[in-house]
Amino acid sequence: MRTADEFRKQIQDGRLAPGAKLPSARDLQAQYGIANSTAQNALRVLKEEG
């Protein structure tokens, strides 16, 4: 999932701290131009991964 991959990269690069609060699905929709369901899926995947 491309959106989740982007957040993983931000964590690896140190731009986002592990465990930091993620943006809302609505914010992801606006930032990446994706559907609400895609944004929710990306957030779900990341939350499941911890």
**CA 7: distance to chain centroid?**
5
Q: Cα separation of 49 and 30, whole Å? A: 24
Q: Cα separation of 26 and 48, whole Å? A: 19
CATH, domain range 2-49: 1.10.10.10
pLDDT digits (tens, 9 = 90+) for 11-46: 888 888 877 888 889 988 998 888 999 889 888 888
Maximum Cα interatomic distance, the chain, rounded to a whole number of Å: 27
Q: Cα separation of 36 and 50, whole Å? A: 21
Whether the CB-CB separation of 22 and 43 falls below 8 Å is answered with yes
- pTM of the prediction? 0.70
